[in-house]
Structures are given as C-alpha cells and as structure tokens.
C-alpha cells in the first residue's frame, strides 16, 4: 500500500512546469548548482508499526522555505542499499510550489553506512532547445541520535556553540562527452500507473486488497534516450514482476525486467546490454512515491506519479 506524508500530496498538486538551466558546450559545462539543506532528519522504525522501515527526510532550498522535499524509506537493515548490497536506493524530491523550480527531476540517495548523501538533477537546456542536462553531487553528513518512546531519530550534529549547522550540497553538470551510450548511466521512470481495489469499508494501510494490477510504466534509458514499455506479468505475495519491451521508435538491443515490492514501495529494474561483445548488466533501485486517488463512492484506487530519475549506482 502506498504511504505518503501529508506535504507530498500538496506538493504533487502544485507540481508545475519546470524551468531550464544553462548547459554549456558539452565539454566545458556550465558552473555548478547548489542547494541549502533546510531540514534533515532520520527516523528509525516505528515500534508501533510492524514495517521495520527507516525514513529519511530532507528539505532543499535557498532560504528558510524548502523548494523541494525529499523523502525515502527502506528496511533499517538495508541502510540505504538494496538488500544491504551494492545498489543504492534513489528517491524523488518533490517541488513544494515555493520559489521557481528549474529542474525537470531532482532525486537523492543516502548511504546510511557512511552518512553520505547524493543528489542528482535533470533539466532542460536554456541554451540548447530540445536538449537536456544533468548534474550530480554529494555531501558527507554528521548526525547525533536520540530515542523517544522506543524509536530512534537522528539530526545533524550541532556546532560547537550549539547552533544548527549550515549545510549546502553542490552539484556539478555532467559533460555530454563523458556520457557513454553503450550502457545506461541512469533512467527516468515515466507514466507510472497502478490500480488496486479494496474491500468496501476498508481504509487501513496494509489491509488485504481485492485486486491489484501492479505497476505499468515507461522506462527511459539515459543518455541514449531509448524507451521501454514495462508491464506487470506476475505477482508473488506483495511483489510484482514484469518485463520491459523496447519501443519501436527507439529500438534497443537491451532487455529489461523489473520487480516492485508494494509493501515497502521499492522498485528494482535490471538492464542487460551488449557492449562490444561483452554482456553488461546495470541495475536501478528506487523508493517509489505515488499519489493514489479513488472516484466518488468507489473502492478502486488509481496511482500515478511524476517522472522519477534513478541512477545506476552512486554518481
């Protein structure tokens, strides 16, 4: 069942047209960008809920009011990595409606093992109509943790005089010449759609569902810009599995399959490509937020989402 925080719904309603940024000439990229971290908080699993997931929330902006709100959840033992392995979990940063959003997508990931945050942006190029640019960066964080009512939480460590630290993350544009089209460096999940039906009178998160289509979506491979149509083919308990077919207009030799755990909202997909006779597999993982609405007097929920950028590992 999709779980969302209250501000996410409002932010999705406010999500408007993105602006653009100067991309530069491709070999000498434009100057970097930066965001102030207006708020950072890590919460361990809530003992009153049998989910075992940790939550990280980050506000991004250039003032007291955040321009983007970023939220991710994953099982505590994973520490930000899929099943505790080598694939980091990306999540969406949603425009709050405050200020002017210059990015098409903003995504973040947190390595809780090393307390390092990663940020990635994609945006239209104001100096190259029809082109897109991207930028990425990272920031090491220092936390101090406490507990309340059996639940742990962590905040950025205070300065020596007891004040809140001033945190800022800077991203650097990725030169076009550095992008390899042999295997994907990132993807964009678009046109997300999922429908499920609850029993009449049910409203509790986690309640058994009468039916669930699982997700369907478009996967855009970057930087090659090839697209795949992805549909669910089977379900095992809370996990859906499916395959992605390359669209005819952008035919690709790659093959892609995916799984989506609806209990913890984790999407994983694997792309297999042939690079000069050598097979290469790249993996993307994301905590997937969506907005689920139902019609008047209906028990059918329709879930959609804004596009989500997912990196092939850390950048």
Model pLDDT for residues 38-72, shown as the tens digit of each residue: 999 999 998 888 789 999 999 999 877 788 999 99
CB 127 within 8 A of CB 22: yes
pLDDT tier at 228, thresholds 50, 70, 90: very high
What value does the mean pLDDT take over residues 222-248?
91
Per-residue model confidence (pLDDT) at position 81:
97
For the cut 70, the answer to whether the pLDDT of residue 267 exceeds it is yes
Distance CA 289, CA 263 (A): 12
pLDDT of residue 204: 57
**To 10 degrees, the CA torsion angle through 141, 114, 74, 95?**
30
For 6-177, give the CATH class.
Answer: mainly beta
In whole angstroms, give the CA distance from residue 88 to residue 74: 11
Per-residue model confidence as pLDDT tens digits over 196-222: 988 776 665 566 788 899 999 999 988
Tell me, which fold does domain 186-311 have in CATH?
AOC barrel-like (2.40.350)
Residues of the chain by 3-state class (helix, strand, coil), percent to 5: 5, 55, 40
Give me the mean pLDDT over the 105-132 stretch.
91
> Could you tell me whether strands 216-222 and 186-198 are parallel, antiparallel, or unpaired per DSSP bridges?
antiparallel
- pLDDT tens track for 22-35: 887 655 566 778 99
Mean pLDDT of the region 189-194 = 96
Give the integer Cα–Cα distance in Å for 237 and 149: 32
Q: What percentage of the chain has pLDDT greater than the value 70?
A: 83
Decide whether 6-177 matches 186-311 in CATH topology.
Answer: yes
Say whether pTM exceeds 0.75: yes
- Whether 80 has a pLDDT exceeding 90, the answer reads yes
Question: What number is the average pLDDT over the span 103-115?
Answer: 94
Closest-CA residue to 284 (of 46, 124, 120): 120
- Residues in CB range of 6: below 8 A, 6 or more apart: none
Closest CA relative to residue 38, chosen from 55, 63, 57: 63
Over 70: is that where the pLDDT of 284 sits?
A: yes
CA distances from 277 to 53, 159, 274, 280, 286 (A): 41, 54, 6, 9, 29
Average pLDDT, the chain: 84
10, pLDDT greater than 60: no
Q: For residue 175, what pLDDT band results from cuts at 50, 70 and 90?
A: low
Q: What token pair was written down for 100? A: 């002017």
Q: What pLDDT score was predicted for residue 5? A: 40
Distance between CA 242 and CA 255 in Å, rounded? 12
**Which among 96, 84, 93 is positioned nearest to 10, based on CA atoms?**
96
Domain segments of the chain: what residues?
6-177, 186-311
Do 72 and 110 contact (CB within 8 A), yes or no? yes
Q: Please give the structure tokens belonging to residue 289.
A: 């937020």
Here the contacts of 74-80 (C-beta below 8 Å, separation 24 or greater) are 74/264, 74/266, 74/287, 75/264, 76/44, 76/45, 76/52, 77/52, 79/111, 79/112, 79/113, 80/56, 80/109, 80/110, 80/111, 80/112, 80/113
């Amino acid at each position: 069942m999709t779980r969302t925080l209250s501000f996410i719904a409002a932010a999705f309603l406010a999500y408007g047209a993105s602006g653009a940024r100067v991309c530069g000439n491709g070999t000498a990229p434009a100057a970097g960008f930066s965001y102030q971290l207006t708020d950072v908080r890590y919460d361990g699993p809530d003992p009153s809920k049998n989910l075992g997931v940790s939550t990280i929330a980050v506000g991004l902006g250039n003032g007291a009011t955040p321009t983007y709100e970023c939220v991710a959840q994953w099982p505590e033992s994973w520490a930000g990595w899929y099943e505790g392995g080598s694939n980091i979990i990306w999540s969406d940063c949603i425009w709050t409606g405050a200020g002017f959003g210059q990015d098409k997508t903003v995504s973040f990931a947190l390595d809780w093992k090393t307390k390092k945050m990663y940020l990635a942006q994609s945006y239209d190029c104001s100096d190259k109509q029809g082109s897109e640019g991207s930028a990425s960066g990272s920031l090491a964080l220092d936390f101090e943790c406490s507990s309340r009512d059996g639940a742990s939480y962590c905040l950025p460590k205070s300065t020596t005089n007891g004040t809140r630290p001033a945190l800022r993350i800077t991203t650097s544009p990725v030169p076009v010449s550095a992008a390899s089209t042999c295997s994907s460096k990132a993807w964009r999940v678009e046109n997300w759609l999922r429908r499920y039906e609850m029993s009449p009178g049910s409203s509790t998160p986690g309640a058994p569902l009468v039916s669930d289509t699982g997700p369907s979506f478009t996967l855009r491979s970057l930087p090659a810009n090839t697209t795949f149509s992805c549909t669910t083919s089977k379900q095992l308990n809370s996990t859906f599995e499916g395959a992605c077919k390359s669209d005819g207009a952008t035919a690709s030799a790659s093959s892609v399959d995916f799984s989506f755990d609806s209990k913890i909202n984790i999407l994983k997909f694997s792309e297999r490509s042939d690079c000069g006779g050598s097979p290469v597999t790249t993996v993307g993982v994301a905590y997937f937020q969506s907005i689920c609405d139902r019609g008047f007097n209906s028990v059918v929920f329709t879930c959609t989402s804004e596009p989500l950028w997912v990196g092939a590992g850390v950048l």
